[in-house]
Structure 1
Amino acid sequence: MLSHLPTLGVGLGFREPFKSDLFLHRQQVDFLEIVAEHYLDATSQKQQELELLAAHFPIIPHAINLSLGSAEGLDTDYVRKLAALINQLNPPWWSEHICFTKAGKVDIGHLSPLPYTYEAVDVLCRNIAQVRRFVDVPLILENITYMVTLPGAQMTEAQFLTEVVERSDCGLLLDVTNIYTNAVNHNYDIQAFVKELPWERVVQLHFVGGHWHDGILIDSHSQSTPVEVWKLMDEVVAKMPVKGVVLERDENLPTFAELTAELQHAREIGRSHQRWD
């Protein structure tokens, strides 16, 4: 199923402050990724914005608060709203994170890691099956950054990601910045990590730069993409059937010319490996 997904090319995470510049430079952006939550319970203004974007770009919805890793199950009202948005856009795929954001009906406000256990895999697969009752658009799952490694692991992180996407029959949204950030903060071998991944399930990549704070690399989406991440992206695109890459800049927004320069760099990487034009 994943091999039949269309190649989208080089995309940008849409942020409202650069909407005008985006339309002035439409030819440099192949598709957009939107934060799904920005358009749930949308005002008429946000709905009009979404319709405008969808009229000019392919749109990939990226959810952040579904909380697929919650053992208590999913918020059905939220799932229905998310499904309505995805079905309205009819994208080639949509994405969420391998994490939990809610516990005991409390929204904890960030993407929290799961233990690398078979029980956690069971929970994820059960919740994904529930979502599929509302949405039949292919789902791809993203790896997150984490500050602490939870005890009780029964497998490595890469093995855990593989187990989740294989058992749930999902694609993988590989955030290469997150891989680099975790490797730096937890001192693991990036090459060994990548080697363990299910290459044929990688559909999309995320990339951006973060910042250092007290000796820890923070995934703040606030800086240009560092050379180490470009190198990792090149290695991944060479090996894996990547359909699209997305620059995900959220803070310290630069000029749009700086963003398009990064998009062009990503475009050249994809071209060099015959992934897209």
Structure 2
Amino acid sequence: MLSHLPNLGVGLGFRELFKSELFLNRQPVDFLEIVAEHYLDAPAAKQQELELLAAHFPLIPHAINLSLGSAEGLDRDYLSKLAALIKQLNPPWWSEHLCFTKAGGIDIGHLSPLPYTQEAVEVVCRNIAEVRRWIDVPLILENISYLVALPGAEMTEAQFLAEVAERADCGLLLDVTNLYTNAVNHSYDVQQFLQQLPLERVVQLHFVGGHWHDGVLIDSHSHSTPAEIWQLMDDVVAKFPVKGMVLERDENLPAFAELVAELQQARHIARSHGKWV
């Protein structure tokens, strides 16, 4: 199923602050990734914005608060709204994070890592099965960055991603920045991580730069993509059948021309490996 997904090319995570510049520079942007929560229960102005974006770009919804790792199950009210948005847009795929954001009915306000255990695999797969009853568009799962590795792991993070993707028949959104950040902060080998992923399931990438704070690398989406992450992207695109790459800049937004230059660099990497030519 994943092999039949279209090649979308190089895209940008949409942020309202650069909407005007985006429409003045549409040509370098193949598609947009939108934060799904911005358009759930949307006021008229946001609905009009969504319709405008959809008229000019392919849109990929990227959800933040579905909480696929919550042991108590999913919020059906939220899920119904998300399903309606995805049905409205009819994208080739949509994405969510492999994590939990809610526990005991409380929204904890950030993307929290799961224990890498068979029990957690079962929870996530059960929740994804529930999602599929509402949404029949292919789902791809993103690896998150985390500062604390939970104890009791029965497998590596990459093996956990692979197990969930295979069992639930999902694709993967490989956030190259998150991968690099975790490898630096937790001292693991990036290449070994990549070797443990199911090659054919990597559909999309995220990339951006973060910053250092007290000796810890923070995934803040606040700086241009550094050389180490460009090199890792080159390695990934050479190995995996990537169909889309998204620059995910949130803070400290530069001149739009700098974002375009990063998109062009990503496009150059893809073309150097015979992608989307």
Instruction: Pick the TM interval, shorter chain.
Output: over 0.9
Which residue of 2 is the match for residue 108 of structure 1? 108
Which residue of 2 is the match for residue 252 of structure 1? 252
Instruction: Provide the secondary structure at the position in 2 that maps to 1:72.
Output: coil
Which residue of 1 is the match for residue 143 of structure 2? 143
Aligned counterparts of 1:64 and 1:270: Cα–Cα separation in 2: 27
C-alpha deviation, 1:4, in angstroms: 0.1
Counterparts in 2 of 1:24-173, with a 5 A limit?
24-173=24-173
Instruction: Provide the secondary structure at the position in 2 that maps to 1:27.
Output: coil
What code does the residue aligned with 2:186 have? H
What code does the residue aligned with 2:254 have? P
C-alpha deviation, 1:88, in angstroms: 0.2
Which residue of 2 is the match for residue 197 of structure 1? 197
Which residue of 1 is the match for residue 213 of structure 2? 213
Aligned counterparts of 1:73 and 1:192: Cα–Cα separation in 2: 32
C-alpha deviation, 1:199, in angstroms: 1.2
C-alpha deviation, 1:65, in angstroms: 0.2
Aligned counterparts of 2:104 and 2:255: Cα–Cα separation in 1: 42
Which of structure 1's runs of 4+ aligned residues deviate more than 6 A?
none
5+ residue gaps, structure 1, are none
Please report the RMSD computed on the Cα atoms of aligned residues, expressed in angstroms: 0.4
Aligned counterparts of 1:117 and 1:69: Cα–Cα separation in 2: 12
- The alignment-based identity, stated in percent, is 81
Instruction: Provide the secondary structure at the position in 1 that maps to 2:3.
Output: helix
Which residue of 2 is the match for residue 232 of structure 1? 232
Aligned counterparts of 2:219 and 2:159: Cα–Cα separation in 1: 22
Instruction: Provide the secondary structure at the position in 2 that maps to 1:28.
Output: coil
C-alpha deviation, 1:275, in angstroms: 1.2
Aligned counterparts of 2:188 and 2:226: Cα–Cα separation in 1: 18
Counterparts in 2 of 1:255-270, with a 5 A limit?
255-270=255-270
Corresponding residue pairs, total: 277
**Please, which moves more after superposition, 146-155 or 87-96?**
146-155
Aligned counterparts of 2:205 and 2:88: Cα–Cα separation in 1: 24
C-alpha deviation, 1:26, in angstroms: 0.5
C-alpha deviation, 1:276, in angstroms: 1.1
What code does the residue aligned with 1:105 have? G
Aligned counterparts of 2:133 and 2:161: Cα–Cα separation in 1: 23
Instruction: Provide the secondary structure at the position in 2 that maps to 1:38.
Output: helix
What code does the residue aligned with 1:126 have? R
Instruction: Provide the secondary structure at the position in 1 that maps to 2:265.
Output: helix
Once the two structures are superposed, residues 237-267 of structure 1 have per-residue CA deviations (whole angstroms, 9 ceiling, x without a partner) of: 0110000000000000000000000000000
Aligned counterparts of 2:133 and 2:189: Cα–Cα separation in 1: 38
TM-score, structure 2 as length reference: 1.00
